[in-house]
Each structure stands twice: as structure tokens, then as C-alpha cells.
């Protein structure tokens, strides 16, 4: 296979000048006569010249590419986030390399190491459900590899983080169930290793508290693999339905679990079907078509991807090492629940809005 793009030498030869002059014309601001510069640039454009990224990478120790690690691409939230990442990266001339952990720590680690070995200039990471050991990320970060975390972020690594306002989202979703008359509100969530699970739990509990409801341990079900397997969800729903007082409302903590719960509830097809209300985090834009209503908490996935990428590129292109890290929190939105917004102040949401991370 002999596909060989034109290089700087080809331009130099064609224009009868030296390669270094071409290089300067294409990069430097001065040191080249305006005449030569135009000549070079025009010709480069004509033949659609692009610097060889490998050579550039070798020279500059930069690849103009960023690595992304998420648990799964085929997921509404993440595919939207990747879309946002791609948008910014594209704008700034970076490539995006996406890898999936499939919720496996081992796979995540391999991906990270693979990407980090100088293939990429920085990393955007959302942790897997299995991840406990952060030493690799920590050490990479300390070695100076720019890393931005989003969505599922670590507590104990100092880095830029982009998250949704998980507490508020969870709070509003649960309060919606309260306002709809639910008395026994369950919570279906993912592994509490994940920041999102912990944060959303706080919102859930706060809403119960505000409503004067007790928090009951047995109404909380964890799917440690985030619903990777539907069986996991069905078992959890099954346990909830077997409680002395089965729940009349369920707040679900993530995308996969939300739709998984709907599927699981289909199994319990009896008269109870119509009485259990559901509200949960999901970025599916198909909820409006569902038979059983699910009040969705929507995250600004696209914007989160954008923001994470902006922060990362800023980090990459910063001359001096950055020590002042920022946690950026984006709003969530409870769809189809106008009433929810009106009573925000009254219900003590304000103190809730303070992030845990800072």
C-alpha cells in the first residue's frame, strides 16, 4: 500500500526553496518574507497540504489528539457527551479517540495506559462502575498528563471535573414523586462507588426529608454493574415488589437503569402496573413515546462534553503547570414538571446546590 501524502519537501521542491523556509512560512509569524509566505501558503492550500501528525507529534511531543474513556458509547448520555467533545475538539484541531471500559476496571486501565503512552495529549475520563484503584490516573496526572474527569468523577484526585447537578436532579425527581402522591418511594441506583450514585442519593434523601418521609434502607436497591445486565435490574425490581409495602414510586439514578426498570416493570403486569410512578435520570429523547410514563431528569450531556474538552485543551495548551482546578457543575432539568421549579426556594434546595467536591 503506497499511499503517501505530500510533505513539506514536496512543497519545497516545487517552489524551489528549502524545507525550513516552507516550515516557517507555514508556522512562524515572522522570519519569512511576505512574498514567500503567500507563495507557500497558496501552494500548500492548493495541494491540500497537512502536516504529518506523526512527525509533528514526534517533534512537539504533541499529537493533537485527546483520549476519551467512557463505560459505553451506545448510551444516550455518553453518545451525546461524545458529540459535545467532538464538536470542541474538531474546532480546535484535535482528534478524538474514544475507548470503552464496559464498566470493567481492567479494561479501563488498559485503555488509559494505552492512550497515555503518548498517543494523546490529554484524557477525558468517566470512571467505570468497578473502579476503586485510582493510582494509575493519579500518577499520570502527577506526571503532568492533562486529565479532565466528567460525570463519574473521583473524590481524591485534584483535577478539573465536569458534573451535572446531581443532587438537584435527584431532589426534583424525588419531589415530583412526592408531589404526585407517592408514599413509598424507592430508589434504584448504581454502585455507590460512583460519585453520581452518592450525589443522587443525597438528593433523594433530602427530598424524603423535606416531605417528612423516613429514609428506609430496604427501599434502596443498588445495581453494581449499572444495569449492564437486565437480570440485575429485574432482580432489584423484584426485591422491591416483594416488600411488605411495595413502592408506589421509584426514583431511578441513571439512563440504563431507567429504561431497564421500565422493562422490568413490564414483567409485573398486574393491576399494580398503573400505580407505580417512575422518575429518573435519562437522556433518551424517546421517553415521550413510552407507554408507561417516566418523568426524565435530563443532563446537559452535550454541554458537559463541550466543557470538559474546553478545560482539557486549555490544560494541554497552558504553558505553566496548572494547579488551580475547577469543578464545573451543569444544571439538570426535570422534563414536563413545571411545578417543580416554582417551589425551589421554599424547599431548601439552596443548601443542596453546594457541591460536595470543593
Residue ranges in contact with a second copy by CB under 8 A? 1-5, 48-58, 61, 63, 65, 72-76, 79-80, 82-83, 86, 90, 95-100, 113-114, 116-119, 140, 143-146, 259, 262-263, 266, 284-286, 288-292, 315-316, 318, 321
Output 117 or 323, the one with its CB closest to DNA: 117
- Closest distance to a second copy from the beta carbon of 74 (Å): 4
Separation CA 43–CA 9 (nearest Å): 12
- Least distance between DNA and beta carbon 317 (Å): 13
Q: Is the Cβ–Cβ distance between 116 and 94 less than 8 Å? A: no
Residue 331 binds which entry of a second copy, DNA, none, with Cβ cut-offs from 5 to 8 Å by kind? none
Taking residue 28's Cβ as centre, other Cβ atoms within 10 Å add up to: 11
4 near DNA, rule: CB under 7 A: yes
Shortest distance, position 223 Cβ to a second copy, whole Å: 17
Host H or E run for residue 265: helix 255-267
How far apart, in whole angstroms, are the C-alpha atoms of residue 59 and residue 340?
55
Instruction: Please tell me the distance from the alpha carbon of residue 64 to that of residue 108, in angstroms, as a whole number.
Output: 22
Residues 9 to 68 in contact with DNA, rule: CB under 7 A: 9, 17-21, 23-24, 26-28, 30-33, 35-36, 51-52, 55-56, 58-61
Nearest approach, Cβ of residue 288 and a second copy (Å):
7
Binding mask 122-151 for DNA (x = CB under 7 A): ------------------------------
Among DNA, a second copy, none, partner that 144 touches (CB below 5 to 8 angstroms by kind): a second copy
Question: 206-215, long-range: CB within 8 Å, 24+ apart, which pairs?
Answer: 206/167, 206/171, 206/348, 206/352, 207/170, 207/171, 207/172, 207/173, 207/174, 207/175, 207/178, 208/174, 208/178, 210/175, 210/178, 210/347, 210/348, 211/175, 211/178, 213/178, 213/183, 213/185
**Whose CA is closest to 286, among 304, 250, 262, 317?**
262
To the nearest whole angstrom, how small is the minimum distance from the Cβ of residue 201 to a second copy? 26
Q: Is the Cβ–Cβ distance between 330 and 164 less than 8 Å?
A: yes
The answer to whether 319 contacts DNA (rule: CB under 7 A) is no
User: Which chain residues interact with DNA by CB under 7 A?
Assistant: 4, 7-9, 17-21, 23-24, 26-28, 30-33, 35-36, 51-52, 55-56, 58-61
Amino acid at each position: 500500500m503506497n499511499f503517501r501524502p505530500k510533505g513539506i519537501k514536496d512543497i519545497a521542491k516545487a517552489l524551489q526553496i528549502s524545507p525550513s523556509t516552507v516550515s516557517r512560512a507555514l508556522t512562524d509569524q515572522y522570519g519569512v518574507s511576505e512574498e514567500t509566505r503567500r507563495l507557500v501558503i497558496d501552494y500548500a492550500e492548493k495541494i491540500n497540504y497537512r502536516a504529518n501528525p506523526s512527525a509533528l507529534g514526534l517533534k512537539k511531543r504533541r499529537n493533537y489528539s485527546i483520549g476519551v474513556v467512557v463505560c459505553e458509547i451506545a448510551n444516550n448520555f455518553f453518545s451525546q457527551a461524545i458529540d459535545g467533545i467532538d464538536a470542541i475538539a474538531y474546532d480546535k484541531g484535535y482528534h478524538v479517540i474514544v475507548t470503552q471500559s464496559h464498566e470493567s476496571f481492567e479494561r479501563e486501565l488498559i485503555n488509559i495506559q494505552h492512550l497515555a503512552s503518548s498517543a494523546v495529549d490529554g484524557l477525558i475520563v468517566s470512571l467505570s462502575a468497578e473502579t476503586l484503584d485510582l493510582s494509575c490516573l493519579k500518577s499520570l496526572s502527577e506526571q503532568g498528563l492533562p486529565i479532565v474527569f466528567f460525570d463519574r468523577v473521583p473524590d481524591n484526585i485534584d483535577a478539573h471535573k465536569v458534573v451535572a447537578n446531581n443532587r438537584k436532579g435527584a431532589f426534583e425527581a424525588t419531589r415530583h414523586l412526592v408531589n404526585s402522591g407517592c408514599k413509598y418511594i424507592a430508589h434504584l441506583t448504581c454502585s455507590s462507588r460512583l460519585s453520581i450514585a452518592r450525589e443522587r442519593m443525597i438528593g433523594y434523601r433530602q427530598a424524603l426529608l423535606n416531605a417528612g418521609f423516613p429514609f428506609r434502607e430496604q427501599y434502596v436497591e443498588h445495581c453494581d454493574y449499572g444495569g449492564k445486565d437486565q437480570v440485575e435490574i429485574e432482580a432489584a425490581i423484584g426485591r422491591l415488589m416483594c416488600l411488605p409495602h411495595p413502592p408506589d414510586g421509584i426514583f431511578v439514578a441513571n439512563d440504563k437503569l431507567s429504561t431497564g426498570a421500565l422493562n422490568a416493570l413490564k414483567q409485573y403486569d398486574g393491576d399494580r402496573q398503573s400505580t407505580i410512578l417512575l422518575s429518573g435520570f435519562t437522556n433518551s429523547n424517546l421517553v415521550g413515546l413510552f407507554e408507561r410514563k417516566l418523568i426524565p431528569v435530563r443532563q446537559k450531556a452535550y454541554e458537559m462534553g463541550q466543557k470538559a474538552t474546553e478545560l482539557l485543551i486549555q490544560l494541554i495548551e497552558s504553558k505553566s503547570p496548572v494547579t488551580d482546578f475547577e469543578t464545573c457543575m451543569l444544571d439538570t432539568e426535570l422534563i414536563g414538571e413545571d411545578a417543580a421549579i416554582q417551589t425551589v426556594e421554599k424547599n431548601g434546595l439552596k443548601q443542596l446546590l453546594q457541591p460536595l467536591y470543593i
